[in-house]
Amino acid sequence: MLKTIEWIPSQPGHPVPGYVRLIDQTRLPGEITYLETTDVQEIWDAIKVLKVRGAPAIGIAAAMGMAVAAQQSDATSTAACLQDTETAGDYLATSRPTAINLFWAIDRMKRVAQAHAELELNAFIDRLVMEARAIRDEDEAQCRAIGEHGVAFLAECRGVMTHCNAGSLATACYGTALAPMYVANERGQQLTVYAGETRPLLQGARLTAWELMQAGIDVILIADNMAAHVMQAGRIDAVMVGADRIAANGDTANKIGTYGLATLARAHDIPFYVLAPTTTFDFETETGVDIPIEERADSEITEGFGSRTAPDGVQVYSPAFDVTPATLVSAIICEHGVAHPDYRASLAEMAGRTSTPEG
């Protein structure tokens, strides 16, 4: 499986400190290129310009960015290093506004830093590096568990549709929405995945289609506006998507176009599943109306990938996400199991669990 983001530890007797290594997703599918960095600014930029993307993955990147900040700090005391680490966290939080995992990871790193402020400086830095690596490793285990829970919903499926990229590239490994497909493939189940291209940045075309092909899973790429026709033709038995934030009532924010897909699924009586770890649950946000929606640069629509496709001076509206009402969601699958309506109660129950299935 792809390792989207990793912490590469320093080697004994080698002057290079530990560093962050991540796949530059802006270069896919043409080439696999890695960004290797010990610079907080580079990590902020990687999140902002989508070199690393997907709610879990950007949370991991932010956690590792704070570890980098501690490691690179000129501070001579733990107290000063703590301040530098928290400042880095505040800065990284400004990179993208919608994915709650970003803020969850930053808050977790801050709590750990504050709880270990009595440590000697080097031990303090080592503790932060350990926590960032733990966040990554936990995400991998959570995604595998999501796959184990979600694969049951594919037992009678021949065709499944997904949107954007919620696979290994969006997480530490396995993905969220794609995790059940990987588990089904491991078990010999033959599935066809219909991947929407995902305008305007084509994450479905560039990333989802690519990583499923790498895994040997049958994938068919479609333009976003073909989804209704494909459903009407009887090719789709289920829709599985990820999420960047799930409100307390079960409303879910995901890549723009998801709400339309959910509406189409309801019209064609096709189950619509949202898959995400509990780190994506946001109980402080009551409903989807309160989820902040990131707006992207006009150029992503008017001249995507360097080719001008719109008249100069045209007005542009470019939200990166939309919100799918909980009423359109058949179930929300997380690492602890499956939440059904009433989501306000079932999501809280899932968040309170601690065990994951064997897999």
Kindly calculate the radius of gyration of the chain based on its CA atoms and give it in whole angstroms.
Answer: 20
Inter-helix orientation angle 121-150/55-72, to 10°: 170
- Backbone torsions φ then ψ of 112, nearest 5 degrees: -65, -40
Report the alpha-carbon distance of residue 6 to residue 8 in Å, rounded. 6
The DSSP code for 244 is S
Phi first, then psi: give them for residue 176, nearest 5 degrees.
-110, -75
Cα–Cα dist 177/162, whole Å? 7
Helices (H) and strands (E) in the chain, counts: 12, 14
Give the SS3 label for residue 220: strand
244 is catalytic: yes
Please give the DSSP secondary-structure letter assigned to residue 188: T
User: Which 3 state secondary structure label does DSSP give 253?
Assistant: strand
Which among 20, 15, 27 is positioned nearest to 41, based on CA atoms? 20
Q: Which of 244, 251, 282, 322 does the annotation list as catalytic? A: 244
Q: Give the C-alpha separation, 47 to 58, whole Å.
A: 6
CA-CA-CA-CA dihedral for 52, 60, 56, 295, to nearest 10:
-50
Helix ranges, 154-214 (H): 179-186, 203, 209-214
- The CA-based dihedral angle spanning residues 159, 164, 167, 170, taken in that order and rounded to the nearest 10 degrees: -170
Q: Catalytic amino acids? A: 244
